[in-house]
Amino acid sequence: MTVTRDWTVTNAYEDDSPSHAVVRSVAAATGRTVVDLDPLYETVDTDALDELFEGSARARVSFRYAGCEVTVTQLHIVVRPDDRDGSTEADGDRSGSREQSS
């Protein structure tokens, strides 16, 4: 897994399923643990995602998850977080707290 200075994560998921690799990649890109993220199945059909990339499918799927733009291909997962300042108020995040003004 490679994390660049702009917090883009590129993960060649090899033996991992695409759905598991997405969650691990998003956690790495956002500095959170996988348990801090909402379940991926609430965003995409994880079985369909994994089946799409079985065999030699030349597909590309992009979607939003946990405040990130995620692109999955046959070989890589690329994650680009929207908020690179460390805020935890992004979608798909259980750990963030929101302040209410009175």
Q: What is the pLDDT of residues 51-79, one digit of tens each?
A: 998 876 688 999 999 999 999 988 888 88
Residue 2 structure tokens: 């490679």
What pLDDT is attached to residue 9? 63
In angstroms, the CA 98 to CA 94 distance is 11
Q: Please state the domain extents for the chain.
A: 2-81
pLDDT digits (tens, 9 = 90+) for 3-33: 665 556 666 677 788 999 999 989 988 889 9
- pLDDT, residue 46, reads 97
Whether the model clears a pTM of 0.75, i.e. scores above it, the answer is no
